[in-house]
Amino acid sequence: MNLILIIGHTGQGKSTYLQKFIAGKKQYIFDVNNEYNLPDDLQIRPQMRNRDLNVNRFLSICKSLKNYNICFEDATGFLRGKQQKELSQLIVAKRHTGNNFIFLFHSINRVPPELMEMSNYVILFKTNDNIDLIDRKFKNEKINTAFLQLQKMKQHSFIEINTI
């Protein structure tokens, strides 16, 4: 019953982090890049994926899911500005459905402010963002501090931020 944002530049380890996080758990993935494979035995490891990039159908299916990790791989390309009403309703109802919502972004500045406000956790990898733009958009000291710390760390480093 969390909203988790995983943010990092290409090649920093976002998808690898996500795959480890959801391994062996019920999951439904908006699989933009066809990176997630269905298991051989669907009864042992229930996993679903959506590869046709139909956001409305994906959200419609999400309404029937309970206790799933619902993942939006590469959310940068399809989530901008104010979110669809259906998506906002799903996120707000996460406590009642037991679903976790996980969004992957390539840039902090591509995260819609509404999602940042509703998030429980941010997993931040290195990005090519500008600290002034981040501060202007979100005014979030935890994000600013983590961003600056990551600039001094080596590639594939990340910081987990509890935003509650």
Instruction: Please calculate the CA angle 73-75-80 and round it to the nearest 5 degrees.
Output: 170
Please state, in angstroms and rounded to a whole number, the distance separating the CA atoms of residues 123 and 161: 6
Is residue 139 within 8 A of residue 111, CB to CB? The reply is no
pLDDT, residue 48, reads 63
Angle CA 26–88–16, to nearest 5? 40
- As a whole number of angstroms, the distance between CA 38 and CA 95 comes to 27
pLDDT at site 37: 65
100, 4 Cβ separation under 8 angstroms: yes
Per-residue pLDDT tens, the chain, 164 aa: give them.
999 999 999 999 999 999 899 888 888 888 777 776 665 545 434 446 666 667 788 888 889 899 999 999 888 777 765 667 888 899 999 989 999 999 999 999 999 998 999 999 999 999 999 999 999 999 999 999 999 999 999 888 999 999 87
